[in-house]
Amino acid sequence: MNSSDPPGATQRWRLDLAYDGQAFSGFAYQPHHDTVVGALRETLATTLRLDRQPVIIGAGRTDSGVHAFNQVVHVDLPVATKVRSLEAERLRSSLNKQLRGRVQILRAEPVGDDFHARFSALWREYRYLVLETSEPGLNTTNTWAWSVDGPLDIKEMNRAAKAVLGTHDFRAFCRRPANASADDPLLRRVISARWERLEDAWVMSPRHAPALRLTIRAQSFCHNMVRCLVSTMVAVGQGKLPSSTVDERLQNLSRHQLPQPAPAGGLALIAVGYERDSPHPIGRQSHSGSIG
């Protein structure tokens, strides 16, 4: 311990993560449940020989079954431990060895105390994968994508998606928080949302299943927001609902007779934006424009 460090001094670290949501009971810590934060807390405490498991703050919470290709967390680690002598790459490597692929640490770096994984984030971006099928038998793919009856009209789905741009009350498309009343608004600002067909069809033996992807970026999301929007937009693409449905429900705030949320497995958190980062997160290009 450096003599200039006061007792209890800590260093804040930023960790960028990826994980398969099927392996966990969600992201947030829950006693007696296997969660992403629980695995990280235990691994950090073991690797750094901490007296207690540290508190971990994430950019957002993902439900059970929802994946992440770039989740961001921060954690304050006591400088009195061997973390002082660890370089960022050594810490990343040590944690990945202990986590054994259940969670992958993409980046580890010390940051200032003013960095907050949740409150410093400017936006979050999710993607949802849908497989367009013409016959039953592919529902086992719901681990990573949702198999639905096709064909889907992507133009109508994008007309529906265009309605979410801007700031709206998403009560019709979100699960109400436990401490909120029915009259409390759920205001969220959506920056971009777009459906597109992927060039490569997913090969699902013995046939090909065309894949569609929704990419949606918002300042923040409420619980089940993307999955509820996806199920409604898919119903629009199937011709079961008019493309005006999303706009109408954003106005009247009613969830009556809307489809159930889409399965969790098709959803993944793919990027979190911070002012200190480059315009495009490491390893990917981000769609920042509006719907075409």
Q: Which amino acid, 22?
A: Q
d(CA 277, CA 20): 25
Catalytic residue among 16, 20, 34, 63: 63
d(CA 59, CA 196): 26
d(CA 184, CA 204): 44
| Short-list 126, 130, 127, CA closest to 235 | 130
Please provide the distance, in angstroms rounded to a whole number, between the alpha carbons at the two ends of the chain.
56
d(CA 196, CA 157): 10
**Cβ atoms 211, 129 nearer than 8 A:** yes
Decide if 169 is catalytic. Answer: no
d(CA 187, CA 51): 41
* Phi, psi angles (nearest 5°) of residue 285: -100, 140
The DSSP output letter for 275 is: T
Q: Are strands 202-204 and 166-169 parallel, antiparallel or unpaired?
A: unpaired
d(CA 154, CA 194): 10
* Residues forming beta bridges with residue 268, ordered by sequence position: 67, 127
Residue 119: both structure tokens together: 């409150």
Residue 196: both structure tokens together: 């597109």
Q: Annotated active-site positions, please?
A: 63
